[in-house]
């Protein structure tokens, strides 16, 4: 099983987006040295918690700062963009960093409805939901197999990075994304940290998979929220920052990632106010390295996944670094010998 990273560039309370972006580069260098397989950056707009609205901008600096780890988007939200522009941008990245660039494509807005409207080029009315058509067009540029009568067919040969191409993935958290990924013969990454009930959806992907492109068998990755610390108790305390952030997000209150002391008090108040005593939340694999390894393996087995992509949000960047180090140790990842890292 491969282990990878999804970085959402979290902004801690009292810090800046610039700090978060520098932390992203630092974490990429660390996880490259630790032996993680790939490093993906997400796309979110218009909030104070996450500093990554442009994966296509971040991927180049990350690839330049690392040596062996694959780098890509988790993902580019295609409804906001021209398929040709995405294809052009990612072939440039593939040409500059051959054999290392992934293009994860998503359908979600990555923001609220008003900000989504602000991202539109034509604001006379809400944009049509034409994701399947945009996805097919983008893949057609890479494969140079747009229909003979397609008005943009000739542009496939003009992609600036040819012959180098990114490796496409379809991202999702619903059954529809699984169906599309299977029908198109794409690699599929499921966001368990958004929808923890996706094992059955992953099965739909495997059943619907049609060999094609460069993939002859289903290839599933599952993105899991995880946090490791020396003890279960410490990990639960540190994870409170993310839990408070997402509790507030569900209520439409966007905040930077709070310190764990503040978050623990908030969650205790919420538990007293909840009739059931529960704090509704997403699945998190949280605990000691042994606990986290067992939890990650259980999720991977449920999805029959070839790869687990670990996403971690903490208040303190050092805590996040340490979590990825502990997880790497727990899975006995083989470190990379990197000239730049050693220097």
In order of start, what are the domains of the chain with their CATH numbers?
Answer: 2-342 (3.20.20.30)
Confidence (pLDDT) at 250: 84
| Closest C-alpha among 130, 118, 70 to residue 94 | 70
Task: Output b/e per residue, 194-206; b: 16+ Cβ within 10 A.
Answer: bebebbebbbbbb
- 274 — pLDDT class (breaks 50, 70, 90): low
Q: In the structure encoding, which two tokens stand for residue 237, read together?
A: 């305390």
pTM: 0.92
* DSSP helix, strand, coil percent of the chain (3-state; round to 5): 45, 15, 35
Q: In the structure encoding, which two tokens stand for residue 287, read together?
A: 């605990």
| Closest C-alpha among 186, 188, 254, 180 to residue 223 | 188
**Which residue shows structure tokens 């040709």?**
84
pLDDT > 90 fraction of the chain, expressed in percent and rounded = 81
Task: Name which residue leads in pLDDT, 67 or 251.
Answer: 67
Q: At what angle do helices 17-34 and 55-65 cross, to 10 degrees?
A: 50
Confidence (pLDDT) at 279: 47
The mean pLDDT of 259-285, rounded to a whole number, is: 77
The 8-class DSSP code of residue 285 comes to: E
Give me the sign of the Cα torsion angle 298, 25, 238, 74: negative
SS3 category, 115 = helix
| Closest C-alpha among 91, 159, 80, 71 to residue 122 | 80
Q: What is the pLDDT of residues 238-269, one digit of tens each?
A: 999 999 998 998 888 899 999 999 999 999 99
Please say if the pLDDT value at position 273 is more than 70: no
């Amino acid at each position: 099983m491969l282990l990878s990273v999804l970085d959402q560039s979290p902004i801690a309370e009292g810090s800046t987006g610039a700090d978060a972006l520098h932390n992203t580069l630092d974490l990429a260098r660390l996880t490259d040295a630790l032996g993680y397989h790939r490093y993906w950056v997400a796309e979110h707009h218009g909030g104070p918690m996450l500093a990554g609205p442009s994966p296509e901008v971040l991927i180049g600096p990350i690839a330049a700062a690392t040596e062996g780890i694959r780098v890509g988007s988790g993902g580019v939200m295609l409804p906001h963009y021209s398929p040709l522009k995405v294809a052009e941008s990612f072939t440039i990245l593939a040409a500059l960093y051959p054999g290392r660039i992934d293009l994860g494509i998503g359908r979600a807005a990555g923001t609220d409805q008003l900000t989504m409207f602000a991202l539109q080029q034509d604001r006379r009315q809400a944009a049509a939901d034409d994701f399947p058509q945009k996805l097919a067009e983008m893949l057609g540029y890479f494969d140079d197999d747009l229909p003979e009568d397609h008005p943009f067919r000739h542009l496939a040969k003009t992609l600036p990075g040819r012959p180098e191409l990114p490796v496409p993935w379809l991202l999702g958290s619903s059954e529809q994304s699984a169906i599309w990924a299977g029908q198109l013969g794409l690699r599929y990454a499921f966001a368990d940290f958004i929808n923890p009930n996706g094992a059955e959806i992953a099965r739909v992907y495997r059943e619907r998979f049609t060999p094609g492109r460069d993939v002859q068998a289903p290839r599933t990755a599952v993105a899991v929220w995880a946090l490791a610390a020396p003890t279960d108790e410490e990990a639960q305390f540190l994870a409170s920052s993310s839990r408070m952030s997402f509790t507030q997000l569900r209520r439409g209150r966007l905040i930077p990632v709070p310190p764990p002391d503040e978050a623990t008090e908030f969650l205790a108040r919420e538990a007293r106010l909840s009739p059931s005593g529960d704090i509704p939340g997403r699945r998190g694999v949280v605990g000691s390295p042994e606990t986290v390894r067992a939890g990650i393996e259980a999720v991977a087995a449920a999805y029959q996944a070839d790869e687990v992509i670990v996403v971690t949000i903490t208040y303190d960047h050092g805590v996040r670094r340490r979590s990825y180090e502990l997880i790497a140790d727990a899975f006995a990842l083989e470190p990379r010998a990197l000239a730049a890292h050693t220097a």
